[in-house]
Every structure is written in C-alpha cells, then in structure tokens.
C-alpha cells in the first residue's frame, strides 16, 4: 500500500533524511551548509539532513511531503501551509484561489499593494513578482510538488523579502522505472479537477511531465475559478555533473467577491456586491540548472526566465470609478555558486561562495472606467538586482558554528510613459549578516540560537505613490514620487528539537525588530484628489516589532497511526506613538492613530492546530485536522479601537480506501459548517452611507470525492 500517512511520512522523512540527502543538491544559498554528494539538480533552501537532531541548522525548519499533499488534496499549496505552526490563512478577495498567508507578522499574498515579507521559490527560483512582490499561489504547480520546505524567521541569505521566512517548492524530477498517475475529483459547487503525470528514466535521462485542470463555481453569488497548467522536468545526473531543464506554463481566472458590510454578512453571507471583479493570470517559466566539479569543490549554476501577464478588474463604490489594471512582468535571472567541504583541525569546514542577479521589465497600466473613462497610469520600470554571498559552517563534535553575509543591490527606475518629464530612479543596497550555533546535547535533543538581518526594497506601487504633497486616488493613478527607505528586519531566535523513536518535538522563541515598515498614510489637507475614498500616500513608519513562540509535536504508532499538535503565539506591534495610518473609518469621524504596543491587524495572537490519521483494516484510512484561530483586529483598525474579528474553530475530515493501484478518498472541509470571517476591514455601506465593518465570510461545509490510479513503477 502506498505510504500516504499524514505526519508518519514526515517522521520518516526526518529520520531517513541523512540517507536521502545523497539524492539532493541545493543551488540556493541557505543559512547552513552540509556535505552533499551531488546526484540530482534541485533547489533546496534547507540542509540535506533536514530539520533533525544535530543538523546544524540554527533556525526553525519544517517540511511537507508529497504524500501529505495527496492525502488532503488542498486547492492551493497555501491551504496546507496554513496547517503548520505559526502560519495562518485569510481571504480578503473572496476567492479560495486567492488566499493570503501570514507568518510571524509578515505576509505572502496575491494581493497587489500588500507589504510582502515572505519569499517564495520554485526549485530555488524566486516567484515573488517584481512589480509588487506578490505571490500568485494559483499559478504554482501543486500537483507536481514532491516536497515543501518552510524556513521560519529572517532568512538573511535568501535575499530581499525574506523578513519573516521563506517557502520553497521542490518539484518532481523523475528517475527510476517509468510510472504514471491519473486523478479526477469532483465536489460541491460544481468543483471538477483532473490531472495526470508520467515519470521515469531512459538511457541516462530523467524525465517528469504532467498537467492539470481545475474549475468550480463559487459558493458566493457570481463567483468561480478555472485554471490549468503544464509542467516538465528533463535532465541527466551523475556523481560529478548533471543538468536539468524545467518548463512551466499556467493560466488562471478567478471571479472574486470581496468583503461584505456586517449588516449583510450576518443575514446573507453568500452575497456579492462587486459581481464583476475578476483576475486573469498567465505565466511562462523556464529554468536551466547544472552542476559540475570545480577544483576541489562543486560548482552549480542556474539561469531562468519568468513571464507573467495579469488583467484585473475591480468594481468600486458608486462614487468611484471601476478600475481595469494591466500588468506585464518579465524576468531574466541567474545564479552561480561554489562549495567546498573538507576536514580542518578537529572539525569539518563547509564553505560556500555565490553570486546572482536578475533583470526585470515591469509595465503597469491603469484605466478608470465609468467616471472620466480613460487611461490614468502607464508606467514602466526596468528593475535589476545583483547579489553576492558567502557562508561558512564549522562542525566540531556536537557543535556547529554557522555564519554568512549577503550583499544586495537593487535599482528601480520609474518611467512615466504618459509624462516622460517625471521619470525617477531609486537605488538600494544592503549587507545582511547571519550567525548561529547548533548543539547536539545527546539523547535526541539539540539546541540552536541565531541572529540575522534581512531587508526588502520598496515595491514599484509603493514608490509610485509616496509623495505627501500629491496623494494618489488609489488605485487609479501612480506617479514619480520621492524615494522610500528599504524595510529592514533583525531577528534573534532560540530553539530546541527532540527526536525519539516515536515522538518528535520542536519549539522556538523569537523577536524581530523591524525598521521603516511601509504603510499607507492619509492625505489631510485641502485639495485632495477626487475619484476615490482612498486618497493617501505610502511612507516609512518607523519601528515595529514581532515576537512569539512556536511549538510542534508529533507522535507515531507502530500500527501506522499518527497524532500531531501545533501551537503558535504571535505578537506583532507598532513601536511608535501618535502616528495616524490611513483608514476608511476617518470618513465616519474616526481616527486611526497608533500608539506603541498596538497590534497589527489580521495577525491572531493564538493559533492551535491538531489532528490524527488512523490506518484501518482493508486498506481504509481516516483522518481529521482541526484548527483554532484567535481574535484579530480588522485592517483599518491599526489603533485597536474597534471590536476584533471573533476567534473561530474549524475541522476537516478524510476517509480513504486504497486497493492495489486504485485509491478513493472523500474529504469534508469545515465539517461543523462554522459561520465565521477570516478577513475584515472598513468601508462605506452605500445603502446607509455609514462606515461599518466589511467582513469576508469563510466557506461553508463542502464535500469532495477523489479517484486516483497509479501505473507502473
């Protein structure tokens, strides 16, 4: 029977990872280095030993296996990441295909304009888009993922946007006997999906190819989503050299619903007040990776191209024009590094040197419709960046000392194609250090501590709306404005790991000091622009802070049963006094003046998750996952003056049956049909002309049935 045991597979991955390491080579800088015989070209951000005892990793790390993903069949990878300690999910666009992730008070989100603080990679290639660093999770090839790596905390050596952590998706590369898989599923609200793949090796070549299609009618009025992708890896690998070519094409469309006034949310949560909102995305991705022996070490290199086209349409309030936005992103990048590993004195030294960069062509066009129709913005930016880094790890007995430096230079020119006389250029550079210690104290226990720094350069949309004298009637106009300072983060973290015969436990405490967070500020003078209730400008705030505790535990039974429990306490606060941040609440006479200690919106203090999987006779299995998310303030209430979102509890269950190459599974999400909101903000109710909370309702209980058939292998 195929091993599809949630959590038990993760345990096996941790225990067996030293032997599996011989099949992996990472070509992306990490916060620690380990000895690695090169066999397969991938792009890991974690050491090959994984997050096990004595791995030498001075950070909290975790992995999600392909078997776990196939067991629970999430719509997007973000859905399953949200089950991990310290991660939470919310939906501000009203579509299950457009959800946002937060971790340690930072975001990875498809929402353009939201400050991003988590970097996301596909086999080591960055997939945060260059225009606003957003992440389009619905374009990432979930059905072709074999492992997900999560690195919590400031990832100094992984580049900009790694303030709160990094997520890396490792894809299937083939190898072994030829095999294939077909899967179809269907469920509530006309949900339908189909996917297939084939993998193997022939005459020294490894190959993997697959594709998928998914669609569903949304549970809310006039919503739905559709997407499809094609994906392939092909390459050759050997003990000293190898290469791999990767191709991904994806397209998606989501009709979104947004949030609802509280008065409507309470009586008709399936309503849609912006029934024409949609987002169309297309993506093309190529990556060529290779490695070979260079002197006494191993060299690796990668070149990649990413193209992304987006069309977004937003229906706005009666007095505001609707907006059509067109965005084109083109990225050509590359990286190279060299690693050397040898005994030095009584220990072993691992040294790594690398450099990389990318050239990005960004174009954004905005069109206001219905009121003064016409083009309001046409900007172009040839963003490019360069980086260089070095890491060194020295292991003596049970102690591993780690250190590293990364230098980044980012140049962001701003070309106003409607008014070329107003072009500007901003440049940013930063040296980010990282240091740590990992100690294997014996009996399955290890300790670690680390300190590191990272930064993010302001996004194009932030730089284009940063003049307090000329605020933007967002999202209708962008211009050439004064430069903003980069956002910088410094993290101090301590943690422990325990790995026994049937029990695994890990925990960490951390504090992150952030300087120059970027927020939207209100325009409070006469003569503000017309055409939007959102008249403001982006500016650096000052000091903010994130701190917290994360705990995770897993227990495994000999019969194949498993239990897990996670807890996270997160406190994200402002550390400034008397600063007013933009909020629609001001239209109703309210203020949004933050004081030191006020909590960030949409960051729950407490989050608990737990679950179990039971292996039953005759190939049956039963699993349950449950989550509790604590109270969180609404966006627009940074001053913590209004009632927060209620805490909520939700659970999912799965029943599976596997016989031979066939597998059938039934999944129920939101088992108890919990009626709650995952997102909230403020806006004007056009019926009453009053400012009130606008909430995004969670999906009701839904059902899915999955049929899977394997071939060969």
One DSSP character per residue, 358-380 reads: EEEEEEEEEEEESSS-EEEEEEE
- pLDDT at 18 exceeding the cut of 80: no
How much is the pTM? 0.90
pLDDT single digits (tens) 157-190: 888 899 999 999 999 999 999 999 999 999 999 9
In this structure, what token pair is assigned to residue 348? 């072993």
β-bridge mates for residue 253, sequence order: 226, 280
Q: Which residues of 172-210 are buried (b: 16+ CB within 10 A; e: fewer)?
A: bbbbeeeebbebebebbbebebbbbbbbbbeeeebbbbb
Q: What angle do CA 580, 586, 587 make, to 5 degrees?
A: 155
pLDDT-derived band at 210 (thresholds 50, 70, 90) equals very high
pLDDT at 46: 53
pLDDT-derived band at 235 (thresholds 50, 70, 90) equals very high
- pLDDT at 26 exceeding the cut of 70: no
pLDDT-derived band at 79 (thresholds 50, 70, 90) equals confident
Neighbouring C-beta atoms of residue 420, cutoff 10 Å = 8
- Write the DSSP assignment of 626-663 as a string of letters: EEEE--BPPTT-TT--SPPBPPEEEEEEEEEEEETTEE
pLDDT-derived band at 419 (thresholds 50, 70, 90) equals confident
Tell which residue, 474, 140, 178, 220, has the closest CA to residue 323.
474
Q: Which of 7-21, 35-49, 419-433, 588-602 has the lowest mean pLDDT?
A: 7-21
Cis peptide before 489 (omega within 30 of 0): no
pLDDT at 274: 86
pLDDT-derived band at 12 (thresholds 50, 70, 90) equals very low
pLDDT at 212: 96
- Cβ neighbors of 527 (< 8 A, separation 6 or more) are none
- pLDDT at 20 exceeding the cut of 60: no
pLDDT-derived band at 40 (thresholds 50, 70, 90) equals very low
pLDDT-derived band at 302 (thresholds 50, 70, 90) equals very high
Instruction: List the domain boundaries for the chain.
Output: 8-712
| C-alpha span between 173 and 417 (Å, rounded) | 43
- pLDDT at 331 exceeding the cut of 70: yes
Pairing between β-strand 191-202 and β-strand 562-574 as defined by DSSP bridges: unpaired
| C-alpha span between 373 and 366 (Å, rounded) | 11
Residue 580, CB half-sphere, CA atoms under 13 Å: how many?
A: 13
Q: What is the mean pLDDT of residues 200-216?
A: 96
Tell which residue, 521, 362, 566, 341, has the closest CA to residue 457.
362
Tell which residue, 423, 420, 421, has the closest CA to residue 412.
423
In this structure, what token pair is assigned to residue 605? 């203090």
Q: What is the mean pLDDT of residues 236-262?
A: 93
pLDDT single digits (tens) 506-555: 999 999 999 999 998 887 655 444 444 567 788 999 999 999 999 999 99
Q: What is the mean pLDDT of residues 422-430?
A: 88
| C-alpha span between 391 and 352 (Å, rounded) | 5
Alpha helices in 73-196 (DSSP H): 77-81
User: Do residues 89 and 100 lie in contact, with contact meaning Cβ atoms separated by under 8 Å?
Assistant: yes
pLDDT at 526: 53
pLDDT-derived band at 39 (thresholds 50, 70, 90) equals very low
pLDDT at 459: 86
pLDDT single digits (tens) 82-93: 888 889 898 888
pLDDT-derived band at 11 (thresholds 50, 70, 90) equals very low
Express as a percent the part of the chain with pLDDT over 90. 65
CA distances (Å), 421 to each of 10, 425, 464, 468, in order? 57, 13, 15, 20
Tell which residue, 137, 87, 88, 86, has the closest CA to residue 111.
137
User: Do residues 82 and 62 lie in contact, with contact meaning Cβ atoms separated by under 8 Å?
Assistant: no
β-bridge mates for residue 254, sequence order: 225, 279
Q: Whole-angstrom distance between the N-terminal and C-terminal Cα of the chain? A: 13
Q: What is the mean pLDDT of residues 269-277?
A: 91
Range 8-712 classified under CATH 2.60.40.1120 = no
Q: What is the mean pLDDT of residues 8-37?
A: 33
- pLDDT at 2 exceeding the cut of 80: no
Q: What is the mean pLDDT of residues 414-443?
A: 88
pLDDT-derived band at 370 (thresholds 50, 70, 90) equals low
- pLDDT at 263 exceeding the cut of 60: yes
Tell which residue, 26, 30, 48, 60, has the closest CA to residue 402.
30
pLDDT-derived band at 360 (thresholds 50, 70, 90) equals very high
pLDDT at 51: 34
pLDDT single digits (tens) 669-694: 999 999 999 999 999 888 888 899 99
Rg (CA), the chain: 25
- Write the DSSP assignment of 431-466 as a string of letters: EEEEEEEEEEEETTEEEEEEEEEEEEPPPHHHHTT-
pLDDT, averaged across the chain = 86
pLDDT at 373: 59
User: Do residues 328 and 281 lie in contact, with contact meaning Cβ atoms separated by under 8 Å?
Assistant: no
pLDDT at 478: 54
Express as a percent the part of the chain with pLDDT over 70. 87
User: Do residues 324 and 367 lie in contact, with contact meaning Cβ atoms separated by under 8 Å?
Assistant: yes
pLDDT at 48: 39
pLDDT single digits (tens) 454-504: 999 998 888 877 777 777 765 544 554 567 999 999 999 999 999 998 999
């Amino acid at each position: 029977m195929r091993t599809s045991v949630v959590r038990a597979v993760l345990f096996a991955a941790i225990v067996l990872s030293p032997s599996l390491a011989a099949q992996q080579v990472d070509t992306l800088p990490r916060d620690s280095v380990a000895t690695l015989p090169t066999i397969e070209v991938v792009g890991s951000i974690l050491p090959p030993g994984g997050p096990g005892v004595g791995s030498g990793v001075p950070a909290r790390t975790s992995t999600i296996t392909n078997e776990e993903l196939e067991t629970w069949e999430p719509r997007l990878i973000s859905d399953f990441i949200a089950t991990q300690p310290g991660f939470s999910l919310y939906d501000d666009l009203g579509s299950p295909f457009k959800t946002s992730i937060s971790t340690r008070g930072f975001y990875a989100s498809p929402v353009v304009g939201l400050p991003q603080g988590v970097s996301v990679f596909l086999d080591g290639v960055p997939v945060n888009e260059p225009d606003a660093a957003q992440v389009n999770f619905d374009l990432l090839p979930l059905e072709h993922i074999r492992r997900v790596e999560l690195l919590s905390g400031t990832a100094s050596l992984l580049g900009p946007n790694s303030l709160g952590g990094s997520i890396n998706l490792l894809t299937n590369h083939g190898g072994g006997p030829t095999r294939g898989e077909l899967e179809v599923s269907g469920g509530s609200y006309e949900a339908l999906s189909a996917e297939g793949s084939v993998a193997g090796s022939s005459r020294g070549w490894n190959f993997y190819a697959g594709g998928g299609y998914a669609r569903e009618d949304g549970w809310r009025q006039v919503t739905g989503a559709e997407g499809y992708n094609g994906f392939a890896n092909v390459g050759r690998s050997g003990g000293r050299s190898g290469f791999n070519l990767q191709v991904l094409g994806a397209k998606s469309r989501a009709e979104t619903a947004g949030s609802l006034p509280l008065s409507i949310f309470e009586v008709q949560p399936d309503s849609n007040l912006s029934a024409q909102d949609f987002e169309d995305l297309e993506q093309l991705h190529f990556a060529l990776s290779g490695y070979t022996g260079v002197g006494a070490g191993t060299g690796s290199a990668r070149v990649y191209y990413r193209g992304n086209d987006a069309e977004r349409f937003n229906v706005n309030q009666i007095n505001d024009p609707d907006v059509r936005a067109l965005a084109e992103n083109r990225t050509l990048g590359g990286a190279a590094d060299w690693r050397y590993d040898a005994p030095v004195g009584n220990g072993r030294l691992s040294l790594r040197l690398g450099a990389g960069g990318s050239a990005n062509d960004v174009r954004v066009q905005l069109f206001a419709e219905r009121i003064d129709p016409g083009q309001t913005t046409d900007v172009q930016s040839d963003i490019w960046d360069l980086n260089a880094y070095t890491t060194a790890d020295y292991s003596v007995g049970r102690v591993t000392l780690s250190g590293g430096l990364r230098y980044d230079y980012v140049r962001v020119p701003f070309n106003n194609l409607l008014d070329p006389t107003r072009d500007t250029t901003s440049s940013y550079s930063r040296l980010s250090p990282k240091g740590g210690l990992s100690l294997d104290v014996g009996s399955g226990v290890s300790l670690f501590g680390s300190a590191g720094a990272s930064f993010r350069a302001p996004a194009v949309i932030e730089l284009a709306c940063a003049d307090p004298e000329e605020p933007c009637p967002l999202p209708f106009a962008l211009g050439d404005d004064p430069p903003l300072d980069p956002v910088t983060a410094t993290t101090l973290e301590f943690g422990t790991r325990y790995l026994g015969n049937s029990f695994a436990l890990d925990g960490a405490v951390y504090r992150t000091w952030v300087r120059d967070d970027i927020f939207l500020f209100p325009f409070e003078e006469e003569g503000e622009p017309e055409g939007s209730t959102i008249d403001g400008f982006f500016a650096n705030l000052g000091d903010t802070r994130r701190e917290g505790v994360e705990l995770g535990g897993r227990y495994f039974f000999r019969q194949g049963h498993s239990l897990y429990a996670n807890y996270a306490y997160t406190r994200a606060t402002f550390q400034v006094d008397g600063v007013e941040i933009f909020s629609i609440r001001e239209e109703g006479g309210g203020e949004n003046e933050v004081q030191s200690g006020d909590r960030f919106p949409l960051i729950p203090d407490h989050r608990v998750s737990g679950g179990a999987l039971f292996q039953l006779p005759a190939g049956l299995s039963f699993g349950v996952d449950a989550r509790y998310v604590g109270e969180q303030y609404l966006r627009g209430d940074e001053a913590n003056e209004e009632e927060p979102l209620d805490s909520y509890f939700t659970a999912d269950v799965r029943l599976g049956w596997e016989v031979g190459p066939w597998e059938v599974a039934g999944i129920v999400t939101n088992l108890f049909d919990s009626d709650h909101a995952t997102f909230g903000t403020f806006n004007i109710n056009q019926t009453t002309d009053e400012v009130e909370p606008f909430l995004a309702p969670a999906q009701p209980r839904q059902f899915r049935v999955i049929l899977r058939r394997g071939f060969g292998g």
